[in-house]
């Protein structure tokens, strides 16, 4: 048995604060401000989010990319035959987490995922690079493959099928999901681990209830 490793690395936070007067009543607007800050400062993959879903026996988590958001929810795209999509089919409850370490910020979102319309998926798919569109046809996502060469061979077969200049339509097994938030929590690192945490709970009238949480 390997020896247990104790990790004592610590970072003292204190770059910014998150007070109620700054946060406002609209968590979607606040999220947009934080995302804009991350993009403006060149943080790597600012749109990346951890997404947790519930399978038949266990919870799984992976990184996906946010592709759109508004007051209706947070949108990502994937293969409908992927593990995450099958998890959502069984149980639509999911959790998303954004972490912008350089800004000492985290956002947690809990809600239910649902498929976006075919028109919305078509529009986004058409905006993707051609190679990525072909990749959506060639990959049986999450299924085993013999080796890298076999994967590339599959991709090449689909590349040959779609001749240069041909339209690459969206495959029916690929599309988007919208996570409609029921709860959004914002975390801002502060000195002495007295972090700022503001949570927003969705109300039935479309408004949000904001509460401060102890760190």
Measured from the Cβ of residue 19, the count of other Cβ atoms closer than 10 Å reads 10
Residue that has been written with the tokens 């709860």 in this structure: 183
Specify whether 193 is catalytic. yes
Angle, vertex CA 153, rays to CA 151 and CA 159, nearest 5: 110
In degrees and rounded to multiples of 5, residue 95 shows phi and psi of -135, 140
Tokens at residue 5, please? 């490793």
In degrees and rounded to multiples of 5, residue 33 shows phi and psi of -65, -45
Active-site residue, from 15, 90, 193, 212: 193
Would you say the C-alpha torsion 126, 129, 131, 136 has a positive or negative sign? Answer: negative
DSSP state of 101: G
Catalytic residues: 193
């Amino acid at each position: 048995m390997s020896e247990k490793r104790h990790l004592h690395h610590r970072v003292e936070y204190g770059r910014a604060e998150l007070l109620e007067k700054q946060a406002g009543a609209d968590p979607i607007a606040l999220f947009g401000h934080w995302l804009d800050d991350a993009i403006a400062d060149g943080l790597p993959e600012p749109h990346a989010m951890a997404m947790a879903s519930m399978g038949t026996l266990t919870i799984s988590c992976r990184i996906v990319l946010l592709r759109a958001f508004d007051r209706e929810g947070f949108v990502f795209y994937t293969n409908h035959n992927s593990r995450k999509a099958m998890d959502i089919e069984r149980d639509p409850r999911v959790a998303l987490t954004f972490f912008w370490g350089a800004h000492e910020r985290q956002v947690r979102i809990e809600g239910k995922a649902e498929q976006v319309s075919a028109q919305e998926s078509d529009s986004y798919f058409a905006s993707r690079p051609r190679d990525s569109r072909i990749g959506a046809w060639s990959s049986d996502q999450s299924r085993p493959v013999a080796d890298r060469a076999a994967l590339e061979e599959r991709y090449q077969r689909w590349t040959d099928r779609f001749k240069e200049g041909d339209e690459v339509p969206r495959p029916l097994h690929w599309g988007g999901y919208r996570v409609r938030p029921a709860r959004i929590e914002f975390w801002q690192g502060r000195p002495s681990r007295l972090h700022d945490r503001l949570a927003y709970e969705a109300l039935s009238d479309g408004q949000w209830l904001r509460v401060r949480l102890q760190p």
